[in-house]
Chain A
Amino acid sequence: MQTLLRCENIAVGFDGKAVVENVNFELCEGDLLCIVGENGTGKTTLMNAVLGLVPLMNGTIQMCELKKGEIGYLPQRINKHQSFPASVKEVVLSGFVGKSFLFPFYTKDQKCRADDSMRMLQIERIKNKPFVELSGGLQQRTLLARAFCAAKKLVIFDEPVASLDPIATADFYKLLSHLNKDHGLSVMMVSHDIEEAVKYSNKILHLNHSKSFFGSTDDYVNSEIYRRFIEAKKEGKEDD
Chain B
Amino acid sequence: MIDKLIELFSFEFVVYAFIVGILIAVCTALLGVELVLKKYSMLGDGLSHVSFGTLAVAMVFNFAPLEFALICVLIVAFLLLRISRNSKINGDAAIAMVSGSFLALGIFISRVSGGFNQNLNDYMFGSIYAIKDSDLPLCIVMTVTVIIVYALFYNKIFAVTFDEDFAKAAGAKVELYNLILALLTAITVVIGMKLIGTLLISSLTVFPVVSSLKLAKRYKTAVCCSVGISLFAFIVGFVLSCLYDNMPLSTAVIFVNLIVYLVITFFTAIKKRKRI
Contacts and interface: CB of A to CB of B under 8 A. Distances in A.
A81 interface: yes
B170 interface: yes
A51 B168 contact: yes
Contacts of B145: none
Contacts, number: 99
Contacts of B151: 104
Contacts of B216: 85
Contact of B171 (A69, A87, A104): A69
Query: How many interface residues does chain A have, given as a range?
Result: 35 or more
Interface string A131-151: 001000000000000110011
Nearest to B212: A85
A101 B174 CA distance: 11
Contacts of A128: 218
Given A53-B169, A95-B170, A97-B160, A85 B155 contact: no
B173 interface: yes
A80 B154 CA distance: 19
A101 B220 CA distance: 21
B94 interface: no
Interface in B151-168: 151-156, 158-160, 162-163, 165-168
B158 A53 contact: no
Contacts of A83: 213-214
A83 B170 CA distance: 25
B222 interface: yes
Contact of B162 (A68, A84, A150): A84
Nearest to A133: B217
Interface residues of B, number: 31
B217 A146 contact: no
Contacts of B217: 85, 87, 130, 133
B221 A104 contact: no
B71 to A, nearest CB: 27
A73 B164 CA distance: 11
B219 A87 contact: yes
A97 B154 CA distance: 11
B219 A90 contact: yes
A86 interface: yes
Contacts of A105: 155
A70 B170 CA distance: 6
Contacts of A104: 151-156
Interface in B70-103: none
A57 to B, nearest CB: 18
Given A53-B169, A73-B170, A85 B160 contact: no
A229 interface: no
A99 B214 CA distance: 32
Given A94-B155, A97-B160, A73 B165 contact: yes
26 contacts: A51-B165, A52-B168, A53-B165, A53-B168, A69-B169, A70-B171, A72-B169, A72-B170, A73-B165, A75-B165, A75-B166, A78-B163, A84-B37, A84-B162, A85-B219, A87-B217, A87-B219, A94-B162, A96-B159, A97-B172, A99-B171, A104-B151, A104-B155, A105-B155, A130-B218, A150-B169
Q: Across chains A and B, which 9 residue pairs bring their CB atoms closest together, nearest first? A: A69-B171, A98-B171, A97-B159, A94-B159, A98-B170, A130-B217, A85-B222, A73-B169, A51-B169
Given A81-B39, A97-B172, A150-B170, 14 more contacts: A73-B169, A78-B162, A80-B162, A85-B217, A90-B219, A95-B159, A96-B159, A97-B155, A97-B160, A97-B170, A98-B170, A98-B172, A130-B217, A156-B169
